[in-house]
A = this chain, B = another copy of it.
């Protein structure tokens, strides 16, 4: 394999010294970039982009051509897994993702297959291989999956939801059905992430977008426990390097101690948590990734720089910090502001690594 030219991101995840704090942005290949919108228009629609490894590679690399980012992240969607389970993913303009065949009864859950990624998600694995080749060792490539609970909400609701009515009713009224569904997702996601690692992903992130919508006990039982099961089943080392796992529960700031016990390398933080306080709480068990409010990118470039400085100061001296937004960058952000954010991280962080 090509040697990695910039390994700051992987080093920071493993708590090793770095020259400056590495930075990437969730959803960095996204609609705020005109070049992304152009490629997506060529692809026809969103799933056309996800299922075409050449085009998925093209949009993955676009933000790296514009900004000195320290990592690339596979361009894909978290709902590829339930789609491969036969739920029939489709997108309606302005309405978000939907499933033709939602899963709501015990019989439907029982009939659900476990995904074999090598057979059924080859387009994702081909994208990983293509991107790794095209990156040519410039920066590491991050693979990812949605968490079982997050995937379950879309599968049971049939799409996005405000109150997770059906999926939460299943947790509380039919916990054994929910557990069977989550077990199948644990097996599928574990296989999917391991296949991404074998295809070339050098770190993986589990996106638990909706864990923060759960009550405390329900989070531990129905979101964190399945993620723990996945972590237990992941390939630890590949190509002679450790493969760090990042666990990101949006709205999970109250549960960091429990998340840190899972044995992952790093926790993703949304912006509501003070990163210095989070560091005190988790000690050196895990690295931390985050956590500027993405809406700060709507403020002036000098305000962005101030906020980056505040977060760096809150984290303090030393390694173990990957800078990121606390959630995905939004479509209306000016790309110049994203650049100001990334440059500020590199410029202002050097003093914390001496």
Contacts and interface: CB of A to CB of B under 8 A. Distances in A.
Given A173-B299, A253-B254, A303-B173, A274 B216 contact: yes
A271 interface: yes
Interface in A311-348: 326, 330, 332
Interface string A51-87: 0000000000000000000000000000000000000
A303 B212 CA distance: 21
A295 B217 contact: no
B272 A212 contact: yes
Stoichiometry (number of copies):
2
A298 interface: yes
Nearest to A162: B330
Contacts of A171: 299
Interface in A242-269: 251, 253-254
A215 interface: yes
Interface residues on A, range: 35 or more
Interface in A181-234: 212-219
A293 B332 contact: no
A298 B272 CA distance: 29
A254 B254 contact: yes
Contacts of A352: none
Contact of A298 (B165, B274, B277, B310): B165
A163 B294 contact: yes
Q: Main SS of chain A's interface residues? A: helix
Contacts of A254: 253-254, 272-273
Contacts of A271: 215-216
A299 B215 CA distance: 14
Nearest to A271: B215
Interface in A272-308: 272-274, 277, 291-296, 298-300, 303-304, 306-307
A221 to B, nearest CB: 11
Nearest to A299: B172
B272 A215 contact: yes
Most buried by B among A212, A215, A271, A296: A215
B251 A299 contact: no
A332 B165 contact: yes
A292 B216 CA distance: 10
